[in-house]
Amino acid sequence: MSAPAMRRPRLGFLGVGWIGRHRMEALVREAPVEVVGVADPSEDAAEAARALAPGCARVDSLDALLALGLDGVVIATPSAVHAEQSIQALERGVAVFCQKPLGRTAREVERVVDAARKADVLLGVDFSYRYAQGLRALRAHHQSGALGQVHAVNLVFHNAHGPDKPWFYDPALAGGGCVMDLGIHLVDLALWVLDFPAVRRVSSQRFAQGRPLRGREEAVEDYAAALLELEGGAAVQLACSWKLSAGCDAVIEASFYGTGGGVSFRNVNGSFYDFTTDAFRGTERVRLAGPPDGWGGRAAVDWAHRLARGERFTPDNTRLIQVADTLDRLYA
């Protein structure tokens, strides 16, 4: 006798601006879910989201969403409230998929992870670049042993535009500037590719409109450069920025170099979405992956499939704390 079909998880969406609505669209299209409610202070945003799931309710708070009897909630609100909103849902036994950063500090992230562990509830964070075909090809190339001993990593994320929401520029609300917005992806993907080695040392410089910053609360940075020394001695160079005169919309790169060769993930012609991955050996170059690749919503879709399978808290969530701790040290 075959097992009975699993009920589709009932999802609510807290925050349905551009990113929240994009994730909702991906989940409606590609995941076995039922959208039962949305909450957003913008009537236009809420109604645009409801058009993706006709019949779902519009409510005015997380409490009201949770009252709909959710299995999971997708959170895409300002960074300052991510941790508390995630904890509120987790303590009610509701799975969480949250936009990055999960918290503004390692302590906030640790509290969320502790709540997920205590409730034994699935927790996901939208580290979307992990799901790009090119980065997966890069990671597999490294895991094959083709790079030998990795000793150098170069990471770049320059956004020529910068965020369009005022809260991004408030240190208390955002927790930081381009490092919290863009650098967090770079730190996560470097540690993820290398299987989360310990970070031994961090040094950094941050700037706001060309002025060096000393304190985290002084202002949000629009340019940052950092050097991370990893367990085993690998050197990770990182640079990220908002509103840089880069000559294109974005410059995004993750390159790894070892004793056996190199591999690089780079955006194409300034695109935020199209990437190539090439492997190097001496002067030789081999293409491992290229566009098109609709990767943006895959992290959310993967989380939803795991929720539908009944998965719960996993010890891998503790790695979220390592990423947040590395950012804390970069801001120190």
pLDDT for 4: 41
Per residue in 46-104, pLDDT tens?
999 999 999 999 999 999 999 999 999 999 999 999 999 999 999 999 999 999 999 99
Closest of 121, 23, 31 to residue 305, by C-alpha: 31
Assigned CATH class of 133-294: alpha beta
Q: In this model, does residue 3 exceed pLDDT 50?
A: no
**Range 264-288 average pLDDT:** 98
Per residue in 140-164, pLDDT tens?
999 999 999 999 999 999 999 999 9
**Is 191 within 8 Å of 319 (Cβ atoms)?**
yes
**248: phi then psi, degrees, rounded to nearest 5:** -160, 175
Closest of 28, 24, 6, 10 to residue 71, by C-alpha: 10
Per residue in 90-128, pLDDT tens?
999 999 999 999 999 999 999 999 999 999 999 999 999
Q: Residue 215 — very low, low, confident or very high, per pLDDT cuts 50/70/90?
A: confident
3-state secondary structure of 92: coil
- Given CATH 3.40.50.2300, say whether it is the number of domain 10-128+297-316: no
Concatenated DSSP letters for 226-244? EEEEETTS-EEEEEEEES-
Exposure string (b/e) for 29-45, b if CB count within 10 Å is 16 or more?
ebbbbebbbbbbeeeeb
Taking the alpha carbons at both ends of the chain, their separation in whole angstroms is: 59
Per residue in 241-258, pLDDT tens?
999 999 999 999 999 999
Distance CA 106, CA 53 (A): 35
**Range 209-235 average pLDDT:** 96
Q: For the chain, what percent of residues have pLDDT higher than 90? A: 96
141 token code pair: 């190339």
**Is 247 within 8 Å of 219 (Cβ atoms)?**
no
**Range 170-176 average pLDDT:** 96
pLDDT for 137: 98
Domain borders along the chain are 10-128+297-316, 133-294
pLDDT for 6: 60
pTM for the model stands at 0.96
**Is 256 within 8 Å of 150 (Cβ atoms)?**
yes
30 token code pair: 């590609």
CA distances from 313 to 84, 129, 303, 318 (A): 18, 22, 12, 10
